[in-house]
Structure 1
Amino acid sequence: MKTLHQYHRPLGSTGLTVSPLGLGTVKVGRNQGVKYPSGFELPDDQQVRELLALSRDLGINLLDTAPAYGISEQRLGPLLAGQRQEWVLCSKVGEEFENGESWFDFSALHTRHSVHRSLQRLHTDYLDLVLVHSNGDDLQVLTEEVYPALQQLKQEGLIRAFGFSGKTVAGGLQALEKGDCAMVTWNLREQAERPVLDFALSHNKGILVKKALASGHICLEGEDPVRAGFELVFSHAAVGSAIIGTINPTHLTQNVITVANILEQSALNI
């Protein structure tokens, strides 16, 4: 079976090496207030354990989680015991999710609290990457204390790199000027953030893609929408990894095979 082991690549100048697909874990910890086309039950521990093992076998080394993903971090911590060196762990700060509602805090105090809590939940003494979970008012968020707090945490060795998961071009560009990485929306429906990808490429900054398949909503007449979606994602050289939020082992395997085929073909065409 094709895997992604041979296609790992640097994430900008962070020093991190990531697989072209990352496993998003919102569905491990939260099924309220999510934007997927249909509802789902949270997987049990054995199902998550098997999904993590399958991901590793398929060459995926990037795990994306967040406090806003319900109990995702708390569940992953024990399940990753003995595997810390196998994974690039990405979490977030800024957004909290409680009692079915999101709220935001971008203060230095909360940022430090959030990172220390994530370290505790994930049973680790450092996070590879921490992104700011923007509320959509990107430029305002970047005037708050969150970025300087993350810079300090990086200097202390608690995080290796930091960046921004936003919703605007202006926010993405400013975030990359001061940080290491941006997570952007980049898919067949939404390509407005291309200038952020272009900036990242020219300045050796990291790019992670969210909603690569439009959260499962993409449907193209007469085409393979998954392949077409991934072809677009990896057509831009700035892309380090696309985060896929699935708990379905078959979907995960099919996505990996599709991306491996695209990258193999791309290598042949060089």
Structure 2
Amino acid sequence: MSARTLGRSGVSVTSLGFGGAAVAGLFEDVGEEAAAAAVDAAWEAGIRYFDTAPHYGLGVSERRMGAALRSRPRDSFTLSTKVGRVLDPHDGGGDDRANGFAIAATHRRRWDFSADGVRRSLEDSLTRLGLDRVDLVLLHDPDDHEEQAFKEAYPALEELRAQGVVRAIGVGMNQARMLTRFVTDTDIDAVLCAGRYTLLEQGALDSLLPAAARTGKSVIIGGVFNSGLLANPAPDATYDYATAPDALVRRALRIRDVTEAHGVPLRAAALRFPFGHPAVGSVLLGARSAKQVRDAVEQFHRFLPDTVWEGLRAQDLLTAGVPVPRRSET
């Protein structure tokens, strides 16, 4: 699987990365063995970029990811985690389904974008991972903490990078506006943009992607299926982790009709679409089982004729200014 470098950091990521939310019980329970098998399948498929976060299952993702990767040579893979939510022990019982994870509520999340919070979060993550370092650290969802993220959290990350504690720094969010500000106003290496650059919507093309290309920074794309809508468009499909609006379901169904008319499954087109833009470094694959991983990798490697994109343009499902990938670009 091909690889690209994040900005000027020297940190390499494979075209497909493995996102660690699903194996932490996102929406439904995932056992330890199934989680380990999913990571193993990603490795066998040539994926060498793995992303996790304390938020994912209250640390479950980090513990499972670390356990699955620990036996591999540390220099053979790239690992990212996130800061901004500190986990405090909680013994009140209950589960974490209100936050989307089918796991016991052993901890509580606490927002903290202070410099001390960044350092503590990273130290805690390394403990859960059981590894000596991560390669990329991302500020996680600072939507409601913008000024503290810029004035306190970002300088702390910059210091950690200067000290060699991490090799690359960035921000991960479900929006493009603040990511664009980070790209233009700071010296980050990469951003993770979830759900805003997909076959269904291309809001990140307005400012974020051009800014990243102009400044030599990389964009990692998450949520390429828009929370499931582009994986299986149906009335009960999810979009942004909630029930998809009818209008979006209809649009997704139209996109599927076009791709399938050209012999291409919707999932294959959705996985490959972001690579039309030169600023995109990797697409994160969220999977909860080895079977899902193998299927997604198979879809990613399918041959996609240019007529797929031409057909979408003809139906006004992609505008003329949206770049599309060629086979050599993935």
TM-score (norm 1): 0.86
Instruction: Give me the whole-angstrom Cα distance separating, in 2, the residues matched to 1:28 and 1:135.
Output: 24
Instruction: Give me the whole-angstrom Cα distance separating, in 1, the residues matched to 2:70 and 2:30.
Output: 21
> Which residue does the alignment assign to 2:81?
91
Q: Which has the higher contact order (CA 8 A, sep 6+)?
A: 1
2:46 counterpart of 1:59:
yes
> Which residue does the alignment assign to 1:187?
198
> Which residue does the alignment assign to 1:249?
290
Instruction: Give me the whole-angstrom Cα distance separating, in 2, the residues matched to 1:123 and 1:28.
Output: 17
Counterpart residue identity of residue 31, structure 2: P
Counterpart residue identity of residue 282, structure 2: S
State whether residues 218 and 280 of structure 2, in contact with CA within 8 Å, keep that contact through their aligned partners in structure 1.
yes
The CA deviation at 1:146 is 0.4
Among all aligned residue pairs of Structure 1 and Structure 2, give the percentage whose two residues are the same amino acid: 29
How is 1:19-30 mapped onto 2 (pairs within 5 angstroms)?
Answer: 19-30=14-25
How is 1:226-245 mapped onto 2 (pairs within 5 angstroms)?
Answer: 226-245=267-286
> Which residue does the alignment assign to 1:108?
115
The CA deviation at 1:225 is 2.0
2:34 counterpart of 1:47:
yes
The 10-residue stretch of structure 1 (104-113 or 180-189) with the greater mean CA deviation from structure 2 = 180-189
TM-score (norm 2): 0.71
How is 1:28-177 mapped onto 2 (pairs within 5 angstroms)?
Answer: 28-31=23-26, 39-44=27-32, 46-69=33-56, 70=58, 71-83=60-72, 84-96=74-86, 100=96, 102-137=109-144, 139-177=146-184
State whether residues 209 and 239 of structure 1, in contact with CA within 8 Å, keep that contact through their aligned partners in structure 2.
yes
Is the radius of gyration larger for structure 1 or structure 2?
2
- 1:160-184 Cα offsets, whole Å, 9 max, x none, are 1010112443311221231111111
Instruction: Give me the whole-angstrom Cα distance separating, in 2, the residues matched to 1:67 and 1:154.
Output: 20
State whether residues 43 and 247 of structure 1, in contact with CA within 8 Å, keep that contact through their aligned partners in structure 2.
no
> In the comparison of the two structures, how many residue pairs are matched?
257
Instruction: Give me the whole-angstrom Cα distance separating, in 1, the residues matched to 2:44 and 2:305.
Output: 18
The CA deviation at 1:15 is 0.6
Instruction: Give me the whole-angstrom Cα distance separating, in 2, the residues matched to 1:61 and 1:268.
Output: 20
Aligned-residue RMSD, C-alpha:
2.4
How is 1:211-222 mapped onto 2 (pairs within 5 angstroms)?
Answer: 211-218=223-230, 219=233, 220-221=252-253, 222=257
Instruction: Give me the whole-angstrom Cα distance separating, in 2, the residues matched to 1:263 and 1:128.
Output: 33
The CA deviation at 1:264 is 10
Where does structure 2 lack aligned partners over 5 or more consecutive residues?
89-94, 100-108, 234-251, 307-325
What SS does the aligned partner of 2:22 have?
helix
